[in-house]
Amino acid sequence: MGSIPISQQPLAPPPSKTSYKIASIPADGIGPEVISAGIQVLETLAETYGTFSFDVTHFDWSSDRYLQTGKYIPDDGLEELQRFDAILFGAVGDQRVPDHISLWGLRLAICQGFQQFANVRPTRILKGVTSPLAACQPTSTDDNDTNRRKLDWVIVRENSEGEYAGQGGRSHIGQPWETATEVAIFTRYGVERIMRFAFEVARSRPRRKLTMVTKSNAQRNGMVLWDDVHKLVAKDYPDVESDKMLVDAMTCRMALQPESLDTVVATNLHADILTDLAAALAGSIGIAPTSNLDPTRQRPSMFEPIHGSAWDIAGKGVANPVGTFWTVAEMIKWLGEDEAAELLMLAVENALDQGVKTRDLGGSAGTTEVTAKVCDEIRRIGRDRGLGATSKK
């Protein structure tokens, strides 16, 4: 039996545009603070380059709105989003609403509704950030850069099915014999499309290396399907070196041999857990980005910082905007503005390296200060590179 032809073109190229329509959904907790910082950075990039612009529309879809109207997303909400080039998302979660209601009401409704089946989470140790890993500390023989580069990964998370398929139920609620099922669904179609996508990501990176993670020793059905599909798809990528790991052993390898990994692909839940570990190993959950991609580009993709709503620090002006800046960099790269994405990350790393960082990274700066510093760096690098209107004189 052969494989099902999933898509003639699993990775469509970005369309060439000069004005991008962005839907902003800041939602809950620190979401509005970090998204507003992210939009400032987008505007600064647009001014610096002068060759593209962003047309941002705000949506108030949030837990507040849910509590007022009973809905996170209005009935025609997804249709409305369809006309945008990308969605910039803050965070959803509020103690007045059970987590599974808020998650399924907003974020998963968009991810699954738009078949954003590839969740992509790059992790590396940014300049000016300290990793808790001994292997990544500066030593007398290696310089700091060499050590930082020992952790440079992209984790590809299956984002449409698996353990987050939403299948299951509860019977005999409240009785001692209450029964609940949570059924993970793995389809050949879903596994194959994420596997091909992950091989493409691995191929696009210099090391051309993919590690596939499962738990196929204990979970003998869905996980063995992953193994089978991995073997099949690997044949189409002879130039990519590929190995497989069990998820428990993977946590040890991430901590003890970070340099042995490059691109990783795993199920929805396994990668959820591994990416939190990855973020912590790279220094802070406050800096980690996520892309929820529809690689066919039939629907807009959604970009969000990993950190969540963090109500404990909401409204205090101390939230780390770097997760959103990195997210914005991933978003504009997806839109085809690779050079601007690279400039943005350089500006972020310069700011961090000069000590302008928030408390979670050991600094004392607030959200506004970090944002202002990153915007200054963007303008400065832009001037150095002779970008924009000033250079054309």
Binding site for ligand IPM (CB under 6 A): 103, 272, 306, 308
Q: Which does 308 bind (CB under 5 to 8 A by kind): Mg ion, ligand IPM, none?
A: ligand IPM
Q: Which is nearer to ligand IPM, 254 or 340 (CB)?
A: 254
Q: Does 272 bind Mg ion (CB under 5 A)?
A: yes
Task: Quote the CA–CA distance of 21 and 23 in Å, as a whole number.
Answer: 7
Q: Does 152 bind Mg ion (CB under 5 A)?
A: no
Q: Does 200 bind Mg ion (CB under 5 A)?
A: no
Cβ atoms of 319 and 360 closer than 8 Å? no
End-to-end alpha carbon distance in the chain: 63
Which residues have a Cβ under 8 Å from the Cβ of 241 and sit 6 or more positions away? 208, 209, 210
Cβ atoms of 281 and 258 closer than 8 Å? yes
Question: Which residue minimizes CB distance to Mg ion?
Answer: 272
Smallest distance from the beta carbon of 365 to ligand IPM, in angstroms? 26
Q: Which is nearer to ligand IPM, 40 or 112 (CB)?
A: 112
Instruction: Locate 66 and state its tokens.
Output: 């849910």
How are beta strands 19-27 and 53-58 bridged, if at all? Answer: parallel
Q: Which is nearer to ligand IPM, 148 or 157 (CB)?
A: 157
Q: Which stretch binds Mg ion (CB under 5 A): 10-18, 67-75, 141-149, 269-277?
A: 269-277
Q: Which does 50 bind (CB under 5 to 8 A by kind): Mg ion, ligand IPM, none?
A: none
Q: Which is nearer to ligand IPM, 119 or 216 (CB)?
A: 119
Query: Which H or E run contains 57?
Result: strand 53-58
Task: Quote the CA–CA distance of 83 and 76 in Å, as a whole number.
Answer: 12
Q: Which stretch binds Mg ion (CB under 5 A): 220-228, 245-253, 264-272, 355-363?
A: 264-272
Smallest distance from the beta carbon of 371 to ligand IPM, in angstroms? 23
Smallest distance from the beta carbon of 106 to ligand IPM, in angstroms? 10
Smallest distance from the beta carbon of 268 to ligand IPM, in angstroms? 7
Query: What is each CA distance from 392 to 44, 50, 157, 288, 385, in whole angstroms?
Result: 18, 11, 43, 36, 12
Task: Quote the CA–CA distance of 295 and 199 in Å, as a whole number.
Answer: 13
Question: Given the rule CB under 5 A, which residues bind Mg ion?
Answer: 272
